[in-house]
Structure 1
Amino acid sequence: MTSAPGTQTDRELLRSSGALLLGGFLFTTVVTVLFHPGGNEDVHEDIFARYAASAAWEWVHFAQFVGVLAALSGLIVLYQVLRPLARRLSACAAGTTVATAAVWAVLQAVDGVTLKQAVDAWVAADGPERAIRLGDAEVVRWIEWGLQSYFRVTLGLALLLFGVTIVVTRAVAAWVGWVAALAGLVSVAIGVDVAYSGLESPFQAPAVPAFQVLTLVVGVGVLVSARADHARVAA
């Protein structure tokens, strides 16, 4: 079934969806690039020292949490436009988005609170206790790897399902659906790579920035589709 949003409500929903997607992902990217410590992500003693020295660690992760939830909310708003046109497919996309939000919440709790406490305890320890504390921090880190892997996979599946739904229904410009599907596939690939390689690898180096660009394009595309449809109806 193909259709296009022709009501004022649909156009308002698309504008809200695009704003949430674009704003949420852009906000998260800016906060991460400017304030999140980085470096040798899989060289634990090096990166843990950077994390322990960060005074902004907790609020940065709260900000990331809010930003990604805003972007995921944009997908749920988009679901309201797609639901009348493809009930089952759009419901699967929305359900996967909810699962992604749940995994993201646990990931941020582990990364933003638990890991910070573990690395602080490691830095403060002396003697034999220091090696024990490092082992504790590494266990937390590996739990973060697992959550990061599944978050990337569930987010990718959500974007892929939304992309397919868009292409099928044409409720948004079809090219937006193809870009969303591509972003989803890249995210799934990153998630699988994290499970095997950790938080940095030759594949992730180009794939993560590419995914960020693709998600921003999807947000812009939804906004552009709302404006284009408004112009078509006005004409």
Structure 2
Amino acid sequence: MILSGSLILVGLIVNAVQRGLFHPTGAADHHDEIFTKYAASQAWIATHLAEFLLVLVALAGLLVLCTVLREHTPTLALLAASAIIATAAIWAALQAVDGVTLKQAVDAWAAAPEVDRATRFADAEVVRWAEWGLQSYFRVLLGVALLLAGAAILLSRLMSRWLGVLLLLGGLLSLLIGFSVGYAGLESPFQDVATIAFQLVILVFAVGLLAAGVRAQKANRR
């Protein structure tokens, strides 16, 4: 549990810091404005590579948790681990599109002569819409993984039930965000609130899991 909680915390916190420092911000669905910022960013590819690796670190923490739960709830733990692996795969595709393909598309638009700018802009929008689709399915798959892991925690009774409840809540929020992205794009008032709530839920879960692991380790030494 210590390793699992530590990996999740490191992935979440370091990624939040590096995104805050290097990732351009703005209205994600106002393409003229945001594409200009993306084209001007010198750190775009690097910050997305960092994000890719750090989220994988957090997902690895969930996989470690599944190995802990497998002895007590083998079916649910296996299903959760499978969903986490699928989530990691679609995350890789999402970051390839967002971190590399979109950057090339907006750079080509920014550098194009006036006669070609409309075509280049349309190309960049197609890439952006592909990102929407991948983001939507990433969130849905992550939600399924968290729901399965949360149910495994509740049934295993290996740790406090409130940790399982937190994962169930996080899974539900991730599912709802995924559906919202699919219908509304990358920004909406609901996503603003739900994303913050999701991040807080997973942060509290990771801290609680780490604390539970430390307590269990101390108890085993007595």
TM over 0.5: yes
1:222 CA drift (Å): 1.1
Residue of structure 1 aligned with 2:145, choices 153, 158, 171: 158
Matched-pair contact (CA < 8 Å) for 1:164–1:177: yes
Q: TM-score, normalised by structure 2?
A: 0.97
Q: Does 1:214 align with 2:204?
A: no
Letter in 2 for 1:82: L
Mind listing any 5+ residue stretches in structure 1 that lack a counterpart? 1-13
Q: Which one scores higher on RCO, CA 8 angstroms, separation ≥ 6?
A: 1
**Aligned 1:10-25 pairs, distance under 5 A:** 14-25=1-12
Deviations 1:84-124 (A, max 9, x none): 10111110000000000000000000000000000000000
- Which residue number in structure 1 is paired with residue 61 of structure 2? 74
The runs of at least 4 consecutive aligned structure 1 residues that moved more than 6 Å come to none
Letter in 2 for 1:109: A
**2:109 equivalent to 1:149:** no
Give 1:182 shift. Answer: 0.3
What is the root-mean-square deviation in Å for CA atoms of aligned residues? 1.0
The corresponding residue for 1:175 is: 162
Q: Does 1:95 align with 2:82?
A: yes
- Residue from 104, 109, 131 that aligns with 1:117: 104
Residue deviations 1:129-182 (CA, integer Å, cap 9, x gap):
000000000000000000000001111111111111101112222111111110
Equivalences for residues 9-88 of structure 1 within 5 A: 14-88=1-75
Unaligned runs of at least 5 residues, structure 2? none
Question: Secondary structure, in 3 states, of the residue corresponding to 2:27?
Answer: coil
CA drift at 1:234: 4.0
Distance 2:69 2:133 in 1: 32
**Residue equivalent to 2:181:** 194
Aligned length: 222
How many percent of aligned residue pairs carry the same amino acid?
53
- Helix, strand or coil for the counterpart of 2:72? coil
Normalising by structure 1, report the TM-score.
0.92
